[in-house]
Chain A
Amino acid sequence: MESTSATRLGAFRRELPAKPGPAGLAAVYRKEIADHYTGLRFLIMAGLVILSGVAAAYVAGQTLSDTLASAGEYDPFVFLRLYSTGSQSLPPFTFFVAVLGPLLGIALGFDAINGERNRGTLSRLVSQPIHRDAIINGKFLAGLAVIATMIAALVLLVGGMGLEIIGVAPTLEEFLRLAAFVGLSIVYVAFWLSLAILCSTLLRQTVASALAALALWLFFSIFAGLLFGLVADAVAPIVDPLDPVQVLRHTAWLNNLNRLSPTLLYEEAVQTLLNPQVRTLGPLLLEQVVGAVPGAPLPLGQSLLLIWPHVTALLALTAVCFAGAYIAFMRQEIRAW
């Protein structure tokens, strides 16, 4: 027994690995993807998002086909309504993506770094011949890939179901708008992923980083809107509701404050994308609508132009969070906190 294993141990001499370095990122990425797909956490979150999204779209589809049948009214963007209409019983599909998407991002990232540290695997990882940033990059990219797959699959799934229920095929423009919606949602969830990774880099306990990320999510999805409303009321109060200057000032303040919140940015952008009738995101005076054809849709290019600042802001927020996590991770001592 001893002798056989002894020969085995000696049987492998050092044939030095040929290519250290670039193998690292791919290896980390592969492992993280596998972890996500087999992990209970992803299954729960994905199940929740899919279930609620499909339920919302199903209800919307039923309502739509009823109204289509009764009114017989032509709506060029009926397929998009599948995603953006709610009913009394359920909010629209987009609401669920906006609310649960961040949770998915947080679930994929909150223990990225501190989890490795607490398990004692980080010191083993950093002593392998890979660049240190391969670890955090691989984790981010794996999370991003999972998010992208998941959102694209969900939107397609709902689309297929919609075809079945309302029996109207999407036009090219609708399809492109949906594609843009998928892209936007990926960026939005990626923001929460990078925020969660940042928390996992800065905070020692996985519980603490999960809670910190969740607190921010809760703040932006519920309290930020209320708080900004209060601030706008205080800074630019509407004393006389008939004074257009006061009303305009108040609206401008409220809009600009709201755009500090990634959640509200995302919601505004989604509205513009999925409702081509949305022509502007600011207040509109009566004089400005003179001559406009009521209800005429905006072409896709114009809608995109309208939300371009939103997309840029979301990308920038993602980049800032990830850069923070990256720098913190590269500078951290491996042993102690």
Chain B
Amino acid sequence: MVAMANEAPAVEAGGGPESGLASAVIETTGLCKRYGEHWAVRDLNLTIREGEVFGLLGPNGAGKTTTILMLLGLTEPTSGSARVLGHNPFREPLPVKAAVGYLPENVGFYDDMTGRDNLLYTARLNGLTETDARARIDALLEAVGLAGAADRPVRVYSRGMRQRLGLADVLVKSPRVVILDEPTLGIDPAGTREILSLISRLAREERVTILISSHLLHQVQQICHRVGIFVRGKLIAHGSVDELSQQLAGGAPLVVDVEVGEAGSRARELLERLDGVTAVDGDPQAGRLSVRCARDVRADIARTLVGHGLPLLGLHVHTYGLDDIYHTYFEGGSADGEHVRDAARRLPA
């Protein structure tokens, strides 16, 4: 009965974020968490709708895990509020925990117990009856590809197997919301692919709302409907990956990448004098120049270079993607860092 009631809106939503009909499953308003003088999370406003896969992306220490702990009621917010499925997680943790599956970062199991017994323990903690639990666990172990290893102690499991067992563990309670903290950390590419495909299958088939936290943008963006970029406790941008890239490109000043082979320095001199060009940087020795301009001057560049008999090997407009945000914020900045920050600031957050 409950299942039917829960599915109805999810079907309407079609699993995607585009539909405005889906109800908000996770909602935070002005959520803050301070540890001493340090703001772990600052003024977080986030809405995640039913059936959505939301990626919370940010470098280590950005406040992702703190946010998750607040959503689960394991940490009290300093100010602001969080609602999960209509409940305040800190005041009413039990209904939230009954419906939310949480896979912590570096998930641990009882090493001396078998994979199956570990899941059975979780099932008992969730009040499942013994027969229900066994049937469900068999199905889940099959689904995550651990049926063969189910009766071996977890001690002998590889990291990838543990992570898959973790996914099964999260699903034991038949959650409506699944929160995964760094699910692909420390797992080889093949294992990562498996886990990601499992997650997106889960979202598709079980119509579960999924929140994934990760600092591995490339891995996670492919399965997320929407992502939020979380830096130093603040959510600086959110939206679908395409939306973010477009908005970013639209807001940034135009940069034209020019390839001129061996004539780097000569071309640089010429282009700097060109009308509409504000600056030329890049690597003249290698023949690669980045031309910043107030308007699209590609035609002028081509004409000038060709007119002076220089080789024009390539000419295209540089677009800013999430990669640039990623590098700027996550990896300590680049030459273009300021641009991207400007652009990111213009994004509707």
Contacts and interface: CB of A to CB of B under 8 A. Distances in A.
Interface of A: 4-6, 8-21, 23-24, 26-28, 30-31, 35, 38-39, 119-131, 333-335
B299 to A, nearest CB: 51
18 contacts: A6-B205, A9-B143, A12-B139, A13-B7, A13-B174, A15-B3, A17-B127, A17-B174, A20-B127, A26-B124, A119-B109, A124-B122, A127-B104, A128-B97, A128-B126, A129-B98, A333-B75, A335-B69
A126 B66 CA distance: 15
Nearest to B208: A14
A120 B7 CA distance: 33
B71 to A, nearest CB: 10
Given A5-B145, A16-B2, A334 B127 contact: no
Best-surrounded residue of B93, B108, B176, B205 (most CB of chain A within 10 A): B108
Given A15-B3, A17-B127, A9 B201 contact: yes
A124 B145 CA distance: 21
Contacts of A124: 102, 104, 107-108, 122, 169
Contact of A9 (B93, B98, B206): B206
B100 interface: yes
Contacts of B124: 23, 26-27, 30-31
A17 to B, nearest CB: 4
Given A11-B139, A119-B110, A127 B100 contact: yes
Interface in B98-148: 98-100, 102, 104, 106-112, 121-122, 124-128, 132, 135-136, 139-140, 142-143, 145
Best-surrounded residue of A26, A124, A335 (most CB of chain B within 10 A): A124
A335 B143 contact: no
A108 to B, nearest CB: 16
Best-surrounded residue of A10, A21, A38 (most CB of chain B within 10 A): A10
B290 interface: no
Contacts of B176: 14
Interface string B142-171: 110100000000000000000000000100
A16 to B, nearest CB: 5
Contact of B127 (A4, A18, A333): A18
Interface string B55-67: 0000000000110
Interface in B1-44: 2-3, 6-7
B173 A123 contact: no
B100 A8 contact: no
Given A13-B174, A122-B108, 7 more contacts: A12-B174, A13-B206, A18-B127, A20-B97, A23-B127, A123-B104, A333-B75
B143 A5 contact: yes
B94 interface: yes
B180 interface: no
B99 to A, nearest CB: 7
Nearest to A1: B145
B3 A129 contact: no
A6 B174 CA distance: 16
B174 A127 contact: no
A17 B125 CA distance: 10
A14 B174 contact: yes
Contacts of B2: 14-16
Contacts of B107: 120, 123-124
Contacts of A334: 69, 74-75
B136 A12 contact: yes
Contact of B109 (A30, A121, A127): A121
Given A5-B145, A18-B127, A23-B124, A121 B173 contact: no
B175 interface: yes
A128 B175 contact: no
B108 A10 contact: no
Given A16-B2, A16-B99, A334-B74, A9 B139 contact: yes
Contacts of B112: 38-39
A9 B102 contact: no
A115 B169 CA distance: 20
B202 interface: yes
A15 B69 contact: no
B325 interface: no
B210 interface: no
Nearest to A128: B125
Best-surrounded residue of A35, A125, A130 (most CB of chain B within 10 A): A130
